[in-house]
Each structure stands twice: as structure tokens, then as C-alpha cells.
Amino acid sequence: MTAFLRFLINGVSLGSVYAIIALGYTMVYGIAKMLNFAHGDVIMVGAYISYCGMQYWGVPPVASILTAMVVCTVLGITIEGLAYRPLRQAASLAVLITAIGMSYLLQNVALMIWGANPKTFPQTFINGASLNVGDMSISSATIITILANVLIMVALTLFTAKTKMGKAMRCVSEDRGAAELMGINVNRTISVTFAIGSALAAIAGVLLCSSYPILQPTTGSMPGIKAFTAAVFGGIGSIPGAMLGGVLLGVIEIFGKAYISTELGDAIVFAVLIVVLLVKPSGLLGKPMREKV
């Protein structure tokens, strides 16, 4: 029973990281109608920047994380403006290939700057303590990750429901032309979406490395792919879907590894995704797509 609970909590925590990353995929997909495969690598950049802040620049953890968020925000806006905006009218395959190229570019640049040797992410307030409940010990990173996820979800839900920019995003995601007719600047809305997604990626990077402290240029790829899977699982374009998809994916992964097979953990995750998509092609909370020209 204790083992089960521990797996569950770890699963929810890992899933929370996926959920925070998945938000970046899902928001960008909803608004810009593209898959930003470089998103996973923005996580890695965020983790490296906060690592550098704490290890080399002597910046306190919170300030390091904030710096990472700022750098990632600027990075996200730059990637969008330089690589994706010129392709706004291009075929979606061209955009997809550009995104994959951008992903490798980020990894290679990270390799040049930080080298191939894995870095060990330092102990911070995030993972410095643990909480004992009965005979179970829960790391503070686990709890903070779950709390961060809940907080981000509430904040984003309020943002899209209440603010002018949030509503503008919903309009652009539904009908870009009609949104323009309202006076909404579509390019700016897309930039803001990338900014939010990338700032969240920085947070996700720090949270991920607080629980799994090995940092290298490819650190973002696998969580990136899984978070993308989580976004599709929950229904791509849907913010609550990203949350649900991420958390479920994390739980399935940990349970799969614990009870079925450690080696096949990832394969189990994807098998579940395939089954869900066969039964419900638009994902758990996704709306059936109405393709528009």
C-alpha cells in the first residue's frame, strides 16, 4: 500500500512536469496551428541557465530560475519571429521540418556552450528536504512540482478566461480571420503565446532537474516528446487537456515501470496513447476538429 501510494505520488509529480511542458505545445498548437518540436529543448536551455546561475554566477536559486524564465521567454519569441513567422503561409510540413531543425540547432548550440558531459543539477530549496508521512518519505521536489502545476493551471485558466489578451488568444485559436476583424493583432498574440509557453518550459526544466538531476544537451528531448504525447492524449489545443494528459501519462509511466516492466515503461506509455486515440481521436478533452481552409 505504501509502495502504491509512493508510485502514485511520484507519477503525479512526474506527470506535473509533463503537464507544464504540454501546456507549451498545446497553446502554441491551438493558436499558431503548428507543432513546435523545439519546445522540449527550450526546457533544456532553461535548466542550463538556472544551473549556470547557481553554479557559476553565484545567483540565488529563485533569481536563477527567474533569469532562466526571462532567457527562455526571449528565446521563444526569437524562435517564433525568426523561424516560424516567415512561414506563416507555408505548408505545415515545411513548418514542422523547421521546428525539428530548430530543435537540433538548440541541442547543438548547447553542446558547444556546455559540452557533452552531463552536469549534476545542484540541490536547492526545491529538492533540499523531504516530508515523512507514516513510513513514507516524500521529497520536497515532488510536492513543489505538484503545487507548481496546480498554480500554473489556475493562473492560465484565469488568464484565458478573464484578460483581454487571454480572450484574444481564444479568438485567434478559433478563427484567425475573424479575430483580425475584431482588431486583434495575430502576430503579437502568437508571440505572447510563445513567451508564456517558453517561460513555463524554464520552470519545467528546473522542476525536472530537481527530481532527475542529470543535465545534458539532450535532457529536453524525451520529456518533450512525452509532453507532446500528453498534449495529444488530453486533446491538443485544450489547456485542461494538457493537465489531465500530463498527469495521467506520468502515473501510467511510473506504474508501468513499477508493476509491468522497467525497460518497457516508455513503450507502455505510447501503447496507452494509441489505444486512447483509436477510441477518441481528438484526445480525452479535445473537441472534434473542424478543418478550416
* CB 293 to other proteins: min, Å: 12
Under the criterion CB under 8 A, does residue 163 sit at the interface with other proteins? Answer: no
Query: Minimum CB separation from other proteins for residue 238, in Å?
Result: 11
Contacting range for other proteins; rule: CB under 8 A; set: 46-54, 58-66, 161-169, 278-286: 161-169
> How many Å apart are CA 240 and CA 157, to the nearest integer?
8
Give the C-alpha separation, 250 to 14, whole Å.
5
Q: Is residue 168 a contact residue for other proteins (CB under 8 A)?
A: yes
215: three-class secondary structure by DSSP: strand
Task: Rule CB under 8 A: say whether 175 interacts with other proteins.
Answer: yes
- Alpha-carbon separation of residue 170 from 24, 92, 110, 166, 176 (angstroms): 15, 21, 34, 7, 10
CB of 170 to other proteins, least distance (A): 6
- Helix crossing, 39-55 with 186-211: angle to 10°? 60
Cβ closest to other proteins, residue 124 vs residue 191: 191
136 forms bridges with which residues in the sheet? 133
**Nearest-angstrom CA–CA distance, 170 and 176:** 10
Q: Which is nearer to other proteins, 5 or 182 (CB)?
A: 182
Least distance (Å) from other proteins to the CB of residue 171? 6
Number of Cβ within 10 Å of residue 235's Cβ equals 24
Which of 42, 224, 219 is CA-nearest to residue 117? 219
In the complex, the smallest distance separating the C-beta of residue 233 from other proteins, rounded to whole angstroms, is 21
3-state helix, strand, coil in the chain (%, to 5): 75, 5, 25
Least distance in Å: CB of 167 to other proteins?
A: 6
Q: How many CB atoms lie within 10 A of CB 284?
A: 17
Provide the grid cell at 16.
506535473
C-alpha cell at 242: 494538457
Residues 216-235 that bind other proteins (CB under 8 A): none
Tell me the closest approach of the beta carbon of residue 284 to other proteins, in angstroms: 17
Number of residues this chain uses to bind other proteins (CB under 8 A): 18
Q: Which is nearer to other proteins, 134 or 183 (CB)?
A: 183
- Taking CB under 8 A as the rule, does residue 242 contact other proteins? no
- What is the Cα–Cα distance from 21 to 42, expressed in whole angstroms? 10
Out of 68, 141, 184, 244, which residue is the one contacting other proteins (CB under 8 A)?
Answer: 184
Do the beta carbons of residue 240 and residue 152 sit within 8 Å? no
If one asks whether residue 85 binds other proteins (CB under 8 A), the answer comes out as no
Q: Does the footprint of other proteins cover residue 289 (CB under 8 A)?
A: no
Q: Residue 16 in contact with residue 145, Cβ under 8 Å?
A: yes
Nearer to other proteins, 142 or 238 (CB): 238
Residue span binding other proteins (CB under 8 A) among the ranges 18-26, 43-51, 99-107, 182-190: 182-190
Task: Determine which residue in the list 4, 74, 125, 180 makes contact with other proteins, applying CB under 8 A.
Answer: 180
Binding site residues, other proteins, CB under 8 A: 164, 167-168, 170-171, 174-175, 177-186, 287
